[in-house]
Amino acid sequence: MLSEKMEKSLNKQVNAELYSSYLYLSMSAYFSEINLNGFAHWMRLQAQEELSHAMKIYDYVNERGGRPLLEGIDAPPKLWGSPAEVFENVLSHEQKVTGMINDLVDLAIELKDHATNNFLQWFVSEQVEEEASANEVLQKVKMTGNQSGGLFMLNQEFGKRIFSPDSE
C-alpha cells in the first residue's frame, strides 16, 4: 500500500509525464507547420512514449491500492525559433524530468518504500537514455547550422524512427 505522500507525488509525476507528451505533440505540430515531417514524426513518437510513461505510473498507483488523480495539464509552448531551439528545450525538459524522478526515488528511500524505489529504478535508467537521445539529436541538428541540406538529411533519418512500447 502506498503512503498518502507517495501517492500524491506519483500522481504529480503522472501529470508531469502527460505534460511531456503534450509538449512533444506541440513540437510535432511546429515541425509539421515548417514542413519537417520527419522531425514531426520523431516528436509524435516521443509524445507517445511519454504517454506510456504516464500510464506505467498510473497503473502502478492502482496496483498498490492508490487512486490515480488526474489534474489539469498546462498548455505547452507553440512556437520555437529553430529546430535547434526545439531540441535545446527537449534536453532541458528531460533534465528537469530526471530531477523529478530522482526526487521520487529520494522520497521512496525516505519513506522506506522499497517496492516504489524498485519500480522507479526503471525510470532512472530511462532518463539516462532520454537525456542521451535528446543530446544526440541536438548535436546533430547543431551540426547542420540549420542549413536546409543538413536538415533535409536529418528529416529523412528522423522519419524512420519506430515506436517500441516499453517492455516492462
Where along the chain do its domains lie? 4-158
Evaluate whether the domain defined by 4-158 bears CATH number 1.20.1260.10. yes
**pLDDT at 167 > cutoff 60:** no
Question: Distance between CA 43 and CA 89 in Å, rounded?
Answer: 12
Cα separations (Å) of 41 from 15, 17, 116, 148? 23, 19, 33, 18
Q: What is the pTM of this model?
A: 0.94
pLDDT tens string 74-122: 999 999 999 999 999 999 999 999 999 999 999 999 999 999 999 999 9
